[in-house]
């Protein structure tokens, strides 16, 4: 089964009007795409009200974001209960449209899109409803219970890939792993997953362990996408993360993680592989070697 392809033109016209005004070469207007956040007011642990959501949009805009794809939490088990899911989804859409309406005249324009971050609390989640996927395309943002990674997580990922969708595993650096995470990352990748890291992890905002894993995955070339996972309070840390990755010699990786691949995701197109980062080639490392005479 070939996955469905989402295009900007396929979006709800209510949200796509401004996006269509200034199309870049790839059909998406210039500016960063941030595809993981919690900005829908009053539906999860993100923005608490409309004012907070609008301020969060402005905060993201100040960091260069011009396309917000927000992803309120959703338990996979809820999708299997159509009446409950429909009721929740309607609440999410109404609240989100209130944000879109409040921001529709902002300059420069922001395009708004909706997806869900799905907590995989069932072994075979139902994903045929485009409302549970990112912008209705082939990508599905998924997470596991963070403190309790279930055995067989790679089987759930394989199940999603087998349905013809591309699972994007949220913030892989933040799970509490029993031992070395690399074998599990390897299994997830071989089961068809793309791996996402939060921008804030690169600057240590989730602690030393998450920071170490975020950099380690980047050095292995196993991070496919970066996003803010912004919860509408504090900073998204996008700019600082991009600067630190660039300073470590990863300018090309940073462009793909924060710009190229999220843009492809929004359009429902394949991601480009991100090269392994050799931090020894960064300008600071080169300068240190110079002063040490090596
Ligand atoms: Fe999230």
Q: What is the crossing angle of helices 153-162 and 182-190, to 10°?
A: 20
- Asked if residue 250 lies in contact with residue 215, where contact means CB atoms within 8 angstroms, the answer is no
What pLDDT does 145 receive? 86
CA–centroid distance, 228 to ligand 1, in Å, is 9
CA–centroid distance, 117 to ligand 1, in Å, is 6
What pLDDT does 148 receive? 76
Largest CA distance in the chain: 69
- For residue 108, cis peptide bond before it (omega within 30 degrees of 0): yes
d(CA 214, CA 145): 18
> What digits encode the pLDDT tens for the residues 113-170?
999 999 999 989 999 999 999 999 999 999 998 777 888 999 999 999 999 999 999 9
- Asked if residue 81 lies in contact with residue 107, where contact means CB atoms within 8 angstroms, the answer is no
End-to-end Cα spacing for the chain: 54
CA–centroid distance, 140 to ligand 1, in Å, is 13
CA–centroid distance, 194 to ligand 1, in Å, is 15
What pLDDT does 17 receive? 35
CA–centroid distance, 151 to ligand 1, in Å, is 21
* CA-to-CA separations, 91 to 39, 41, 96, 229, in angstroms, rounded: 13, 10, 9, 21
CA–centroid distance, 134 to ligand 1, in Å, is 13
What pLDDT does 282 receive? 59
H-type alpha helices, 17-114: 50-62, 76-79, 82-103
CA–centroid distance, 38 to ligand 1, in Å, is 7
CA–centroid distance, 71 to ligand 1, in Å, is 7
> What digits encode the pLDDT tens for the residues 265-291?
999 999 999 999 998 765 666 666 666
Which residues are found with C-beta within 5 Å of the ion, ligand 1?
117, 229
**CA 106 to mean position of chain CA atoms:** 24
The alpha-carbon radius of gyration of the chain (Å, integer) is: 19
Q: Which residue has the tokens 């905060």?
A: 59
CA–centroid distance, 162 to ligand 1, in Å, is 24
Residues of the chain with pLDDT under 70: 1-27, 281-294
- Asked if residue 191 lies in contact with residue 157, where contact means CB atoms within 8 angstroms, the answer is yes
d(CA 266, CA 268): 6
What pLDDT does 285 receive? 64
Of 18, 12, 69, 70, the C-alpha closest to 44 is 70
d(CA 140, CA 79): 13
d(CA 259, CA 154): 27
Q: Is the pTM value of this prediction over 0.85? A: yes
CA–centroid distance, 293 to ligand 1, in Å, is 45
CA–centroid distance, 57 to ligand 1, in Å, is 16
Domains of the chain: 8-291 (3.20.20.140)
């Amino acid at each position: 089964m070939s996955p469905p392809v989402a295009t900007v033109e396929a979006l709800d016209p209510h949200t796509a009007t401004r996006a269509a005004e200034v199309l870049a070469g790839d059909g998406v207007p210039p500016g960063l795409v941030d595809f993981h956040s919690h900005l829908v007011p009053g539906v999860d642990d993100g923005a608490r009200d409309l004012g907070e959501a609008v301020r969060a949009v402005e905060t993201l805009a100040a960091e260069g974001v011009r396309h917000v794809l927000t992803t309120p939490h959703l338990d996979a088990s809820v999708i299997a209960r159509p009446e409950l899911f429909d009721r929740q989804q309607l609440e999410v859409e109404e609240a989100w449209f209130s944000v879109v309406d409040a921001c529709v005249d902002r300059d420069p324009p922001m395009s708004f899109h909706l997806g869900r971050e799905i907590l995989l609390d069932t072994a075979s989640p139902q994903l045929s409803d485009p409302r549970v996927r990112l912008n209705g395309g082939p990508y599905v943002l998924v997470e596991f219970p963070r403190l309790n990674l279930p055995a067989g997580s790679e089987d759930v990922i394989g199940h999603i890939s087998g349905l013809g969708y591309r699972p994007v595993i949220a913030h892989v650096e933040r799970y509490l792993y029993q031992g070395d995470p690399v074998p599990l990352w390897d299994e997830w990748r071989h089961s068809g997953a793309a791996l996402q890291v939060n921008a804030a992890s690169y600057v240590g905002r989730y602690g030393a362990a998450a920071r170490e894993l975020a950099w380690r995955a980047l050095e292995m070339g196993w991070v496919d996408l970066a996003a803010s996972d912004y919860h509408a309070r504090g900073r998204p840390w996008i700019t600082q993360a991009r600067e630190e990755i660039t300073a470590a010699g990863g300018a090309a990786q940073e462009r793909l993680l924060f710009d190229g691949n999220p843009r492809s995701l929004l359009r429902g197109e394949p991601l480009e592989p991100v090269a392994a980062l050799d931090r020894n080639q960064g300008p600071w490392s080169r300068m240190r070697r110079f002063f040490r005479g090596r």
